Amino acid sequence: MRIFDDDRQEWVGLEQEQRIAELHDRDAVRQGKALRGAVTVLAVGGLAFGAWALGWKDEPRPTGYLTVVEGAPRSTDADADGGTDGGDMDAEGGDTAAPSPEGVPPAPYEEVSDQEGYRLAVPRGWIRDAVTGQDSTVVNYRSPKGDRRLQVYRVAESSPYASLRLWLDAEGKPGGFDQLGPVERTDDGGRPAARLDYTADRFKGEPDIGTWHVVDHRFQAVDGELYALAVYGSDADGRDDEEDFMATALSWFCPPDEICPEPGTH
């Protein structure tokens, strides 16, 4: 039996045999990750020693890291504004992002090490919450006003495209749902992905801001697992800001237990 999940806006629930097979596959993936992680640590250690021996010890280290605890994110930057409304101008839909050094997300974003193990980039001052579902934990980051949101979770279906098609074919979509185009098959660094753009008038538990614009991107990450990143915002201010937000979210996403390179500036 399948149950419709209001938080993920899709049908969930797999047969017991599928769950057992998935657990077996994930154990194999984790073993592979541990081996890759050990090899990477040894390689990094060798490179670091070589750089020190050559006298290249003054390379600047990236800044702008954030560790998330329950509640609002807290920045470790010396110049962080603590998430005040004044520091959230760009996070609320502006387009005045300042240039960022290599290895640091563009303003007003900052790097987040989420409790579920994800590396993300979210605007400063956004508030985290999570809902534990049957198959995965749905993580949300919301703007202080609640009018913008980033959502991330694991995908249980066989492929990104199949996951989005299953959601489209199911009942229980948000009020005023309007699909803006066909499900688009994309390629994320040689890995399968699919994207859906749509608008909706309302979502359960979310504020009434008029028409919402949503970019729902489902993809295979570097660990071989499938994930979803969904960006929500007001349709009244145009759709470019959600597209830019998704581009930043994808470039900075790293799955749990993986070592990912730091992307360049967006």
- pLDDT at residue 12 in the model: 54
- pLDDT at residue 47 in the model: 42
Query: Of residues 210 and 36, which shows the higher confidence score?
Result: 210
- pLDDT at residue 261 in the model: 85
pLDDT at 73 over 50: no
- The secondary structure of residue 175, as a DSSP letter, is B
Judged by average pLDDT, the poorest of 113-117, 135-139, 209-213 is 135-139
Calculate the alpha carbon distances from 237 to 92, 94, 146, 195, 250 in Å.
10, 10, 15, 21, 22
Instruction: pLDDT band for 85, please (50, 70, 90 cuts).
Output: very low
Query: Of residues 140 and 59, which shows the higher confidence score?
Result: 140
pLDDT tens column, 120-161: 999 999 999 999 988 789 999 999 999 999 999 999 999 999
* Average pLDDT score over the chain: 75
pLDDT at 263 over 80: yes
- pLDDT at residue 207 in the model: 96
Q: Which residue has the tokens 């349709």?
A: 235
Q: Which residue has the tokens 């504020």?
A: 207
Helix (H, G, I), strand (E, B) or coil at 136: coil
Q: State how far the Cα of 250 lies from the Cα of 194, in Å rounded to an integer.
A: 13
Q: State how far the Cα of 248 lies from the Cα of 63, in Å rounded to an integer.
A: 17
Judged by average pLDDT, the poorest of 47-51, 54-58, 110-114, 246-250 is 54-58
Give DSSP secondary structure letters for 9-70: TEEE---HHHHHHHHHHHHHHHHHHHHHHHHHHHHHHHHHHHHHHTT---PPPP---EE--S
Calculate the alpha carbon distances from 155 to 38, 54, 95, 164, 228 in Å.
27, 46, 31, 10, 6
Q: State how far the Cα of 46 lies from the Cα of 34, in Å rounded to an integer.
A: 19
